[in-house]
Amino acid sequence: MPVAHRPPVYLDYAASAPVRPEVREAVRAALEAGGNPSSVHATGRKARERVEAARTRVSALVGAATERLIFTSGGAEANALGLAAHLADIDQILVGATEHEAVSETALRLGLPVRILPVTATGVVDLQALQDALATGGRALVALMLANNETGVIHPISEVAAMVRQLGGRLHVDAVQAVGKIAVDIDGLGAHTLAISSHKLGGPQGAGALAFAEGVKPKPLWGGGGQEFGLRSGTENTPAIRGFGVAADMAHQDLARFEGHAAARDATALAAKASGAVVLGEGAPRLPNLLCLACPGWESMRQVMRLDLDGVQVSAGAACASGKVRPSRVVEAMGAGRLAPFVLRVSSGWATEPNDWKRFLEVYRDGAARHLSRAPAEVN
Q: How far apart are alpha carbons 200 and 180 in whole angstroms?
A: 8
> Quick one: CA torsion of 262, 255, 83, 239, rounded to 10 degrees?
120
End residue of a domain, out of 254, 271, 296: 254
In a shared domain, residues 277 and 335: yes
Q: At what angle do helices 42-62 and 238-258 cross, to 10 degrees?
A: 30
Q: How far apart are alpha carbons 181 and 193 in whole angstroms?
A: 19
In a shared domain, residues 319 and 300: yes
Inform me whether the pLDDT recorded for 378 exceeds 50.
no
Predicted TM-score of the model (pTM): 0.94
pLDDT band at 2 (very low <50, low <70, confident <90, very high): very low
- Check residues 325 and 37 and name the one with the higher pLDDT: 37
Q: What is the CATH number of the domain that holds 232?
A: 3.40.640.10
% residues pLDDT > 90 (the chain): 91
Tell me the pLDDT of the chain averaged across its residues: 94
- Residues 73-129 have pLDDT tens digits of 999 999 999 999 999 989 999 999 999 999 999 999 999 999 999 999 999 999 999
In a shared domain, residues 211 and 268: no
In a shared domain, residues 274 and 206: no
| 3-state secondary structure (DSSP) of residue 275 | coil
In a shared domain, residues 318 and 333: yes
pLDDT at residue 370, as a whole number: 87
- Residues 7-41 have pLDDT tens digits of 899 999 999 999 999 999 999 999 999 999 999 99
* Amino acid of residue 14: A
| 3-state secondary structure (DSSP) of residue 70 | strand
End residue of a domain, out of 254, 280, 295: 254
pLDDT band at 326 (very low <50, low <70, confident <90, very high): low
Q: What is the CATH number of the domain that holds 269?
A: 3.90.1150.10
- Residue 292 falls in the annotated catalytic set: no
Q: How far apart are alpha carbons 231 and 217 in whole angstroms?
A: 9
Inform me whether the pLDDT recorded for 322 exceeds 80.
no
pLDDT at residue 250, as a whole number: 98
pLDDT at residue 377, as a whole number: 47
| Cα 323–chain centre separation | 18
Q: What own/partner pairs with CB < 8 Å and gap ≥ 24 does 371-380 have?
A: 371/295, 371/297, 371/298, 372/275, 372/276, 375/297, 378/296, 378/297, 379/276, 379/295, 379/296, 379/297
In a shared domain, residues 265 and 323: yes
In a shared domain, residues 174 and 283: no
Please count the structural domains in the chain.
2
Inform me whether the pLDDT recorded for 323 exceeds 70.
no
Question: Length of the chain in residues, anyone?
Answer: 380
Q: How far apart are alpha carbons 202 and 199 in whole angstroms?
A: 5
Q: In the predicted model, what is the mean pLDDT of residues 163-187?
A: 97
Catalytic residue of the set 114, 267, 320, 372: 320
Inform me whether the pLDDT recorded for 380 exceeds 60.
no
Residues 6+ apart with CB under 8 A from 94: 114, 115, 116, 117, 130, 133, 134, 140, 141, 142, 143
274-283, 312-321, 348-357: which range is least confident on average?
A: 312-321
Q: In the predicted model, what is the mean pLDDT of residues 213-234?
A: 94
Structural domain that includes position 64: 21-254
Q: In the predicted model, what is the mean pLDDT of residues 348-361?
A: 96
Instruction: Please check whether residue 233 is in contact with residue 226, taking contact to mean a CB–CB distance below 8 angstroms.
Output: yes
End residue of a domain, out of 254, 282, 306: 254
Instruction: Please check whether residue 347 is in contact with residue 289, taking contact to mean a CB–CB distance below 8 angstroms.
Output: yes
Inform me whether the pLDDT recorded for 184 exceeds 80.
yes
